[in-house]
Structures are given as C-alpha cells and as structure tokens.
Chain A
Amino acid sequence: MSDSVYREAILDHSRNPRNKGTLEPSDFTYEDVNPLCGDEIRIDVRTDGERVTEIRFSGRGCAISQAAASMLTEMVEGRPLDEVKAISRDDMLEELGVPISPARMKCAMLGLKVLKAGIYGVSPADEAL
C-alpha cells in the first residue's frame, strides 16, 4: 500500500536499529519524552570539537520514533557540528521518506529534538526546529 507509513526502510530501522546504545563518557547526552505516545529517546554524542565522531541512541517507543532516531544517527555521524545544527524538520521528513500525519509528527521529530537540545546545550529544541 503506497500511502503506508510502515514501509521497508522504517521497518528495517525499527527492527534493526543503528547505533543503538550509550556512550560513557560522552561529550553531551540529552533525553526527552513525547508525552503523547510515551516515546523516550536518549542520545549520547562524542565530538572532536568540530565533528560528530560517535553517536548512540537509546529509548523505547513506537516504530516511527525509534526508526527516526536510528536514521538520524546515520545522518549525522562524521558530519560537522554546524551542519548538524542546520538539520531541519524537512530534512528529517525527507530522510524518513514516508507521509507523517500530524498525529505522528512528534514521534518522528523526537530524536532530532533531543539531538538539537543536546548540541545547543539548551532545552528550547522546539524553537530550534
């Protein structure tokens, strides 16, 4: 079914999450929840001061939130911090490649919200998006 959100890429990342785990020590760690679904995401990042050298995510929740976080770790690993800061909501949606309904947008964006909050070292990640 062409309009399904549950296409192979999402299911693959959901079943076989990339970069799942934690980093201790890390250069920054941040976590947050999506109160609507109860999704939880934590992201740990190591940097060399300019680039993301290692990234791990952990948490639990719906397939969309977990797959999106998994995809996000692949998007940012090795990339300059400035580029990571510039990742937009639309970039994330493009990477997901499936239609995200308004009801599931918070699931899809939770990983990016957590990463941005961590990278800026602040909480107003919604504004950063």
Chain B
Amino acid sequence: MITSAMGSATDWTEVRDDFPILSSVNARGQRLVYLDSAASSQKPISVIEALDRYYRETNANIHRGVYDLSERATAQYEAARATVADFINAASPREVIFVRNATEAINLVAQSWGRRNIGAGDLIVVTTMDHHSNIVPWQLLAEERGARVAAVRLTPDGQLDLDHYRGLLAEQPKLVAFPHVSNGLGTINPAAEMIRLTHDAGAVVMLDGAQSVPHMPVDVQALDADFLAFSGHKMLGPMGSGALYGKRALLEAMPPALGGGGMIRKVTLEQSTWADVPARFEAGTPAVADAVGLGAAIEYLQAVGMEHIAAHERALTARALEALREVPDLTIYGPADPAVHAGVISFTLGDIHPHDVAAILNEENVAVRAGHHCCQPLMQWLGVPATTRASFYLYNVDEDIDRLLSALHRARAIFAA
C-alpha cells in the first residue's frame, strides 16, 4: 500500500488495487463496480492475510491457556481490542466488547441495560429512519417491560425533525436510539447536538454507528456517546466481526446478557458471580481471528486516514448527486446538500421497480442493492415499497459513477415503451 495519512495525493485506483475482488470481471470483461458497501465492504489483502496468518501461526483458544500459542492468541485478541478503542477514541479498551455485528451490539444493550433500566410506562425514543436493528430490539424490550416506543419524525428532505425530537425529550424518555448516518437515506445526523440534548433530558443514547464509523472520524468522547454499535464487516473487516462501545460506568452496572464460559468470576451450583467488563459480555469462545482481522482493517483505514477517506467519499457523493439529478425520471431521496448526505444514495427511476433497476445494473456488473434496506418504516414514510441504493467507500473512483450512470441510461432505454 502506498497511501499514507499524510499523503495529499492518494491515488485511489491504487487503493482499489489492494482489494482483490475488485479486479474481477464478468463474462463480458466488465470490471466489477461495487456500490454496496453500506451492506458490506470488500476486504483488502492485508485483512485477508491477517486471517490467514492467524490460522497458520497463532490459532488457539484464548485466556487461561498457559502455553505460548494461547498466550500469543490472547495477546493478539486484546491488541485488536486496543486498536478498536483507539480508533473510536474510547477512554479504555475495557469499554469495547467484541460482538458479531451492530445488530448483536444493540441487542446486548437492550437485553442487559434495558432489562435493568426500562420499566412499565417508560418511554424509548427511536427514529423513523432507523434500521430495523435499532427498532425491533427496543420493541421486544418494550413489549416485555410494558414500556412504549415513539419515533422521531423526519423533515421533508429526510433529516430528523429536531423540534419534534425536543418535544419527545420533554416526555422524559429513558433511552434514545438513533443512527449516526442513515443507511436508507444517507442523512448525516447531528449526533453531538442530539446527544447533548438527550443528556440534558436525562436519557441514555444508543448510537448506531454502522454507517458512520467505517466512513468518517468518530470520537466517542467528543460525542459523549453512551453506547455506540458498529459492524466490522462494513469497515473492511471480516464477516462476523463487530463491536459495542459503552461508557465504563454504564457497562460495569450491567448484568450479563449471555451466560457461559469466560464471563464468570466464580460459579457454584447455587449461584455465580460475573467477570469484570468486557469479559462479562463475551460468553463462550469469541471470534478471535475475526477480531484480529478487524484490527488489521482498522490499521489499513488509519494508514489511509479517516479524514482523507471522508473527503474522498464526500467528493464522490457530490459528483454522483449532481450526475444523478441529470437522469430523467430519477428521484433521489435524502438531503440535497452533500454536507449532510453521506455516500449512500437511495433513488427510484420512474416506474421501473427498484429490483429491475438493480438487475439491469447487475447485467453491466454494477452491484447495487434494491429493497427496503431493513428500513420498512422509512419506506412507508417515503411512500415507496423499495428503493435502489448505491453506496460508496474508499475504493470507489469517478469511473464507477460513470459506469453507474451509463447502466441507468440502459435501464431507461430497456423500459422505454
């Protein structure tokens, strides 16, 4: 890799060359244009090699092994935790819990913090733009505890209605769950301001960072986030890697969500006591190699530089928004201002069903997603059953937008009556 955090003139096509899958071609020789990073990112060779190296040289179960191999595996696992903590500027690696994905992270908070702190009649606030993973766990909890769930409305251009939000805060919710960046609209929410308002109202914040942590600098201390969930596989890491950040005082007051090995202090047949955090929340053998791979992914991102990546994606998004506006019959959802529109662009093309658009794009080897994006309440608000969604990452280049545009014109031509 030739890029550096200080490099002013990164050649993004050389970044792309670090990702083996992106050099693949279809039967007609068309290079893959991967525009579905909001669903899952591709992996650089350094991450693939880290997994390979772990299994060749280090594999053993961690903790309590007295032999060298287990000690090395343990050290690598904990080093990965420290890398994650550093990446989001957590005060301590103890505030980082390894999970499979953001969904599991949020469910952990709901099942542990939620069962301890949410009671009958309590209010939980979510938003109309949340991913199902930041809605359904709270609905399950609310049903169990007799609590209620209310959703923040959206402004016409797909931003959170902060006046409505202030009104909900006046009802003194116990917890507020919202996405840092919307996976269905690309909206960048004013997380720092919302967290300040939330804390002023005495509530705890569950911030869904699945679409922000991979793409922009995220500092949990500057944000003052209580909980932050994100998925490793969306940030160049292995499938099945992810993390939950929680403020140490909150985590230490929480009961385990899963019982088993590794999370205990002492077990008798009558009762058990719990290990300190974060081990308390990591019952059973964890995905050690995947955590190590996530560490390698973060090292790659840090070498390129998160500010640098964010600027690259802003430029791609601005260019794409401008170009897509020129396509007849194409409707773009979400904010028009690229300053609050991350590299996730949801659109519909006339009356053509989003799945047909995506299928025709696929025939041109352009990979986009079509559907409800696990945001059915958002689709209901938009008044459409589905959208087509193109999303960018550091390995995308201007040529990818050109390929997207030409494939969209082909879709229009095919469906023109």
Binding site for B on A (CB under 8 A): 1, 3-6, 11, 15, 36-38, 60-64, 104, 107
Q: Which residues of B contact A38 (CB under 8 A)?
A: 371-372, 385-386
Q: Are A5 and B415 in contact (CB under 8 A)?
A: no
C-alpha spacing A1/B363, complex, angstroms: 9
Q: Are B414 and A6 in contact (CB under 8 A)?
A: yes
Residue B27 at the chain A interface, CB threshold 8 Å: yes
C-alpha spacing A5/B414, complex, angstroms: 11
User: Contact flags (1/0) for B11-50 with A, using CB distance below 8 Å?
Assistant: 0000000000000000110000000000000000000000
User: Contact flags (1/0) for B349-364 with A, using CB distance below 8 Å?
Assistant: 0001101100110010
Residue B6 at the chain A interface, CB threshold 8 Å: no
User: Contact flags (1/0) for B371-384 with A, using CB distance below 8 Å?
Assistant: 11000000000000
Interface of B is mostly: mixed
Q: Which residues of A contact B360 (CB under 8 A)?
A: 4, 6
C-alpha spacing A108/B355, complex, angstroms: 13
Assuming the A-B contacts A11-B415, A62-B353, are A5 and B386 also in contact, with contact meaning beta carbons closer than 8 angstroms in the complex? no
Q: Which residues of B contact A6 (CB under 8 A)?
A: 356, 359-360, 363, 414
30 contacts between A and B (CB under 8 A): A1-B28, A3-B27, A3-B363, A4-B360, A6-B356, A6-B359, A6-B360, A11-B414, A11-B415, A15-B417, A36-B371, A37-B353, A37-B355, A37-B371, A37-B386, A38-B371, A38-B372, A38-B385, A60-B385, A61-B353, A62-B356, A63-B352, A63-B353, A63-B356, A63-B415, A64-B356, A64-B359, A104-B355, A104-B359, A107-B355
C-alpha spacing A62/B388, complex, angstroms: 12
C-alpha spacing A81/B310, complex, angstroms: 61
Q: Which residues of B contact A36 (CB under 8 A)?
A: 371
Q: Which residues of B contact A5 (CB under 8 A)?
A: 359
Distance from B392 Cβ to chain A, minimum over Cβ atoms (Å): 23
Interface of A is mostly: loop
Nearest 5 interchain pairs by C-beta: A62-B353, A38-B385, A62-B355, A63-B356, A37-B355
Total inter-chain residue pairs, C-beta < 8 Å: 39
Q: Which residues of A contact B356 (CB under 8 A)?
A: 6, 62-64
Distance from A14 Cβ to chain B, minimum over Cβ atoms (Å): 8
Q: Which residues of A contact B385 (CB under 8 A)?
A: 38, 60
Q: Which residues of B contact A4 (CB under 8 A)?
A: 360, 363
Q: Please report which residues of chain B, range 334-368, place their CB below 8 angstroms from some CB of chain A when the two chains form the complex.
A: 352-353, 355-356, 359-360, 363
C-alpha spacing A4/B132, complex, angstroms: 33
User: Contact flags (1/0) for B161-185 with A, using CB distance below 8 Å?
Assistant: 0000000000000000000000000
C-alpha spacing A38/B356, complex, angstroms: 13
Q: Which residues of A contact B28 (CB under 8 A)?
A: 1
Q: Which residues of B contact A104 (CB under 8 A)?
A: 355, 359
C-alpha spacing A27/B76, complex, angstroms: 68
Closest to A5 in B: B359
Q: Which residues of B contact A37 (CB under 8 A)?
A: 353, 355, 371, 386
Distance from B72 Cβ to chain A, minimum over Cβ atoms (Å): 42
Distance from A35 Cβ to chain B, minimum over Cβ atoms (Å): 10
Distance from A43 Cβ to chain B, minimum over Cβ atoms (Å): 19
Q: Given known contacts A37-B355, A38-B372, what 4 new A-B pairs fall within 8 Å (CB)?
A: A6-B360, A15-B417, A38-B386, A62-B353
C-alpha spacing A61/B356, complex, angstroms: 10
Distance from B350 Cβ to chain A, minimum over Cβ atoms (Å): 12
C-alpha spacing A8/B18, complex, angstroms: 41
C-alpha spacing A36/B358, complex, angstroms: 14
Interface-centre pick from B352, B355, B363, B414 (highest chain A CB count, 10 A) = B355
C-alpha spacing A38/B359, complex, angstroms: 15
C-alpha spacing A61/B371, complex, angstroms: 11
Q: Which residues of A contact B417 (CB under 8 A)?
A: 15
C-alpha spacing A104/B371, complex, angstroms: 13
